[in-house]
């Protein structure tokens, strides 16, 4: 859930973008740990974040903004998967893992590796230190 002042829509675009991405990253990390790397549509709180974001921006920004958030969400999850797999090559989604591995995955680090490729955000490279 986004902070109340974001839900009211009283923020600059840069602040809004950063707070939403932070909330999304934190949620992805929490759920990645909770579900041992699996995506579970039954327990996720992601729709709350997306809904709050959509209500905080003008109608003409909702579709493109939500699409962009989905791109970030996928890249956050991919970075977490890569970090766990790097630390434990035999790990498979659904298996327990040492959650401290994810302490090395930072939102800013993931985002710094992203480049636009057509209409998608893709990783140029990723540096995961374990």
The model's pLDDT over 92-103, given as tens digits with 9 standing for 90+, comes to 999 999 999 999
Please determine, for residue 129, whether its predicted confidence score (pLDDT) is greater than 60.
no
Q: What is the pTM of this model?
A: 0.80
**From CA 7, how far away is CA 56, in angstroms rounded?**
5
Does residue 73 lie within any of the structural domains? yes
**From CA 117, how far away is CA 119, in angstroms rounded?**
6
Q: How many domains does the chain have?
A: 1
Find the domain containing 30 and state its range: 4-123
Does residue 129 lie within any of the structural domains? no
Q: Rg (Cα) of the chain, in Å, rounded?
A: 15
Cβ(119)–Cβ(129) below 8 Å: no
The model's pLDDT over 34-49, given as tens digits with 9 standing for 90+, comes to 999 998 877 788 999 9
């Amino acid at each position: 859930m986004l902070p109340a002042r974001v839900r009211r829509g009283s923020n600059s675009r840069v602040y809004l973008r950063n707070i939403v991405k932070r909330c999304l990253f934190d949620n992805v990390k929490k759920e990645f740990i909770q579900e041992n790397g699996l995506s579970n549509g039954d327990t996720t709180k992601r729709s709350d974040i997306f809904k709050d974001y959509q209500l905080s921006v003008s109608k003409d920004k909702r579709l493109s903004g939500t699409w962009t958030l989905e791109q970030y969400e996928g890249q956050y999850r991919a970075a977490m998967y890569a970090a766990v797999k790097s630390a434990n090559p035999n790990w498979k989604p659904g298996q327990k893992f040492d959650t401290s591995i994810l302490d090395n995955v930072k939102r800013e680090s993931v985002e710094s590796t992203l480049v636009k490729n057509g209409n998608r955000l893709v990783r140029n490279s990723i540096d995961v230190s374990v």
